[in-house]
């Protein structure tokens, strides 16, 4: 009865606001909380997912876990599914793919029924399950079917995933124009990943006329919501003075925000700013520190740069063994500069 009443409220909101308005757009975060606190499992699942995405609120995996546990403990399919996502990716918990897959399988029957009944969130979740083979057999056509159903109802995550299908030409005719259309729909609802993707399409001129000013604007919207890739790209625009006035201090600010979240490219870029003294006091030691962080995440460009510092003794003690190690790490990923450096070091040791 609680689910029926809540679903009725959702449908009423759709009717009042018009077709194409998503629950995420109509159902504000502050409206979900009281329903969740009253024990509504569906509201708890949505609230937990909003915290996980950082949608209409600050991203908070601890709060996401709390609300999703409450929902899943009532056997709500959405709650079980989103709790599975936390365990699959280790968001606020120790990653446990076995537990995640068990939760997906348990959620599947309920999600399938909800999706058939027209619930856009269930449709979006089912699309993701089909796309990645979580809890059922991987099937791109199934993913496309459910993403399309959810996206046409205005569900922003499904809109973003559908855009990616058009961008890659997976199961549909490849179309950057359609990708931009769907990214825009999700971006205008405030989904930070879609804002980043739309900014990228503007930056590269994919499916739309290249416009660096608009690229910077969409990156900023995403970056202000804490999305690390957007922060890194915005930093790059400030560094180059494209779409914004050139400003190394602003570039450092945005690189740092992304780097501190663990974005390997931002860590590499921040290290380079320190090494060159752009926007910060010049420091090979700080540069090496950030290169190391990026290198340890497997970023081959940072591995090569760190190796070069060890070879020359800049910012770190000179250590040819460490230099060879990091050159080798990058070379095995196909980094041609590191492959040449290894050959050079080998010749020098003969």
190 located within any domain: no
What pLDDT is attached to residue 27? 55
104 located within any domain: yes
Mean pLDDT in the chain? 91
193 located within any domain: no
114 located within any domain: yes
246 located within any domain: no
CATH number, domain of 82, equals 1.25.40
Please determine, for residue 3, whether its predicted confidence score (pLDDT) is greater than 60.
no
Please determine, for residue 7, whether its predicted confidence score (pLDDT) is greater than 80.
no
| Among 154, 191, 119, 210, CA closest to 21 | 154
Number of structural domains, the chain? 1
301 located within any domain: no
Tokens of 269: 């870029």
Q: How far apart are CA 87 and CA 106, in angstroms?
A: 14
pLDDT band at 28 (very low <50, low <70, confident <90, very high): confident
- For residue range 260-304, list pLDDT tens digits in order: 999 999 999 999 999 999 999 999 999 999 999 999 999 999 999
Q: Which domain holds residue 95?
A: 1-154
Q: What is the pTM of this model?
A: 0.86
| Among 194, 184, 230, 198, CA closest to 55 | 194
| Out of 5-9, 64-68, 186-190, least confident range | 5-9
What pLDDT is attached to residue 315? 96
Alpha helices in 95-226 (DSSP H): 97-116, 120-132, 140-152, 156-168, 176-187, 192-204, 212-224
> Under a CB-based contact definition with an 8 Å cutoff, are residues 72 and 103 in contact?
yes
Please determine, for residue 31, whether its predicted confidence score (pLDDT) is greater than 90.
no
pLDDT band at 349 (very low <50, low <70, confident <90, very high): low
Tokens of 67: 């609300």
């Amino acid at each position: 009865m609680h689910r029926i009443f809540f679903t009725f409220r959702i449908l009423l909101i759709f009717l009042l606001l018009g077709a194409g308005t998503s629950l995420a757009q109509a159902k504000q975060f502050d409206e979900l909380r009281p329903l969740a606190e009253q024990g509504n499992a569906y509201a708890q699942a949505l609230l937990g997912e909003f915290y996980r995405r950082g949608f209409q609120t600050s991203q908070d995996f601890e709060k996401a876990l709390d609300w999703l546990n409450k929902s899943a403990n009532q056997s709500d399919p959405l709650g079980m599914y989103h709790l599975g996502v936390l365990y699959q990716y280790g968001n606020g918990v120790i990653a446990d793919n076995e537990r995640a897959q068990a939760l997906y399988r348990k959620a599947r029957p309920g999600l399938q029924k909800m999706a058939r009944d027209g619930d856009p969130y269930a449709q979006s979740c089912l699309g993701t399950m089909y796309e990645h083979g979580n809890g059922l057999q991987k099937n791109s056509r199934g993913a496309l079917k459910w993403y399309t159903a959810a996206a046409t109802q205005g569900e922003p995550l499904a809109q973003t995933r559908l855009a990616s299908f058009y961008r890659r030409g997976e199961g549909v005719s490849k179309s950057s124009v359609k990708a931009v259309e769907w990214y825009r729909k999700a971006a205008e609802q405030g989904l930070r990943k879609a804002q980043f993707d739309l900014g990228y399409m503007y930056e590269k001129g994919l499916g739309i006329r290249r416009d660096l000013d608009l690229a910077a604007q969409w990156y900023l919207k995403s970056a202000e919501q804490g999305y690390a890739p957007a922060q890194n790209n915005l930093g790059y625009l400030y560094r180059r003075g494209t779409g914004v006035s050139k400003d190394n201090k602003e570039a450092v600010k945005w690189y740092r925000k992304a780097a501190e979240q663990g974005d390997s490219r931002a860590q590499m870029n921040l290290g380079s700013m320190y090494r060159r003294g752009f926007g910060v006091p010049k420091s090979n030691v700080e540069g090496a520190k950030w290169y190391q962080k990026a290198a340890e995440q497997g970023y081959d460009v940072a591995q090569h740069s760190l190796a070069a510092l060890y070879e020359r003794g800049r910012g770190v003690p000179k250590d040819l063994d460490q230099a060879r190690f990091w050159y080798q790490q990058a070379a095995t990923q196909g980094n041609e500069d590191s492959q040449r450096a290894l050959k050079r070091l080998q010749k020098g040791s003969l």
